[in-house]
């Protein structure tokens, strides 16, 4: 069995180099995204940093020529409300459902070299999110740092089995684009999706050849499950080496009928590849969000210091207390080309300031389920100022 990674030792919270100064610039956000020990910051400092970077981001997107500024005015929001942390709960959110409507414009007029990234459209609509070079660089800097923090993948001799396409084939579909980027971040890797088809036999052959080595298999859960069930059915000797990982990215999409409860899914992968359940990790992202969350050894999604996540009541859209279930919303300061202030179509819980058994402390995100069509429509219309009868 793979050795369990050592849990972080609990200790005194440190001060970072991001203390507030009058001469602070937005580049400090880039420094934070790349900072080692992201979850070592004291709770009070995290609150300070979030407010500062989100205030800067909101002011940027409230530029008079932006479509978001007009939207904020209609909602009666003023930037001065961000003088205190309570103002974060008043920042106007863009419902993800509305971003699927044709003709919705969210791009910042100063943004250049835009890549229009898209959702899969499995729910009947396609979100188109404009990402500039800075926005993309921050996303991949974040995913690189967070995967290293949670999985220790960076600067290692790990070999990555990437169950996604390469960059040329990925084009603008966001999940494929992200998985293609993993190949760049971790150069000892091979892509096993070509022409939209998983090369299962090739992956199994290569896994058998690499048996006992440190390996990461990364991909959508249906593809990892297909690999695992095939290996189990054939009694193949596919045993991964110590400190290997099986990392899921994305959801079940059009294969929801095959979906297993998470515990059963993890156990199936564990049996197939001879690893402890601690080695099976999930990630969370959505095309409208420019930050990825990665599970720790306790299978908890830790919210990084720059991201503000809260659950909201679907009727009044007010922020709910820690631990209560509601519609998940995010304030993400990392996008430059579009406002990363999003009301999702996911139900979930935000557990605030949790001392996790993994040794990290901070907010933890718990995804429960997708909103159904009527629930999504009701929440989106309320955000848009349209009365729902």
pLDDT at position 210: 86
DSSP 317-366: -PBPPTT-EEEEEEEE---SSS-EEEEEEEEEEEEEEEE-TTS-EEEEEE
- Whether 13 has a pLDDT exceeding 80, the answer reads no
Domain region containing 251: 158-284
State pLDDT tens for residues 64-99. 888 899 999 999 998 899 988 999 999 999 998 888
Confirm if 279 and 150 have CB atoms less than 8 A apart: no
Query: In total, how many domains does the chain have?
Result: 2
State pLDDT tens for residues 97-141. 888 877 778 899 998 899 999 887 655 578 889 999 999 999 999
Q: Is 115 helix (H, G, I), strand (E, B) or coil?
A: strand
Same domain, 248 and 327: no
Q: Is residue 123 part of a domain?
A: no
Q: Is residue 237 part of a domain?
A: yes
Integer Cα distance of 323 and 364 in angstroms: 10
Same domain, 269 and 331: no
Q: Is residue 256 part of a domain?
A: yes
Nearest of 307, 313, 306 to residue 328 by alpha carbon: 313
Confirm if 203 and 192 have CB atoms less than 8 A apart: yes
> In CATH, what number is assigned to the domain containing residue 371?
2.30.38.10
Same domain, 196 and 245: yes
Integer Cα distance of 246 and 202 in angstroms: 18
Same domain, 278 and 310: no
Nearest of 319, 327, 356, 366 to residue 344 by alpha carbon: 327
State pLDDT tens for residues 242-285. 889 999 998 766 666 667 888 999 999 999 988 888 999 999 99
Confirm if 217 and 248 have CB atoms less than 8 A apart: no
């Amino acid at each position: 069995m793979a050795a369990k990674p050592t849990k972080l030792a609990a200790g005194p919270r440190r001060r970072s180099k991001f203390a507030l100064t009058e001469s602070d610039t937005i580049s400090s956000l880039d420094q934070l995204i790349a900072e080692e020990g992201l979850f070592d910051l004291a709770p009070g400092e995290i609150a300070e940093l979030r407010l500062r970077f989100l205030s800067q981001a909101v002011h940027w997107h409230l530029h008079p020529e932006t479509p978001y500024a007009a939207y904020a005015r209609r909602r009666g929001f003023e930037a001065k409300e961000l003088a205190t942390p309570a103002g974060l709960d008043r920042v106007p959110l863009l419902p993800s459902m509305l971003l699927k409507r044709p003709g919705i414009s969210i791009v910042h007029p100063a943004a250049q070299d835009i890549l229009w990234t898209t959702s899969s459209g499995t729910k009947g609509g396609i979100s188109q999110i404009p990402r500039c070079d800075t926005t993309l660089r921050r996303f991949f800097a974040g995913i690189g740092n967070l995967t290293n923090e949670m999985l220790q993948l960076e600067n290692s001799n790990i070999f990555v089995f990437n169950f996604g396409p390469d960059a040329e084939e990925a084009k603008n579909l966001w999940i494929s684009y992200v998985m293609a980027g993993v190949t760049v971040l971790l150069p000892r890797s091979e892509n096993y999706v070509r022409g939209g088809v998983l090369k299962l036999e090739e992956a199994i052959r290569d896994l058998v050849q690499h048996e006992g080595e440190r390996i990461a298999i990364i991909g959508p859960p249906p593809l990892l499950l297909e690999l695992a069930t095939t290996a189990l059915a054939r009694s193949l000797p596919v045993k991964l080496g110590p400190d290997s990982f099986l990392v899921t990215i994305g959801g079940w999409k059009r294969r929801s009928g095959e979906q297993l409860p998470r515990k059963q899914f993890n156990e199936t992968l564990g049996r197939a590849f001879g690893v402890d359940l601690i080695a099976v990790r999930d990630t969370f992202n959505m095309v409208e969000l420019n930050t990825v969350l990665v599970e720790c050894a306790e299978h908890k999604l830790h919210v990084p210091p720059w991201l503000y996540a809260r659950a909201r009541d679907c009727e009044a859209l007010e922020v709910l207390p820690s631990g209560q279930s509601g519609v998940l919303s995010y304030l993400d300061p990392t996008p430059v080309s579009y406002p990363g202030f999003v009301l999702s179509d996911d139900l979930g819980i935000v557990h605030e300031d949790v001392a996790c058994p993994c040794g990290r402390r901070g907010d933890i995100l718990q995804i429960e389920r997708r909103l159904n069509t009527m629930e999504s429509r009701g929440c989106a219309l309320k955000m848009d100022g349209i009365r729902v009868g």
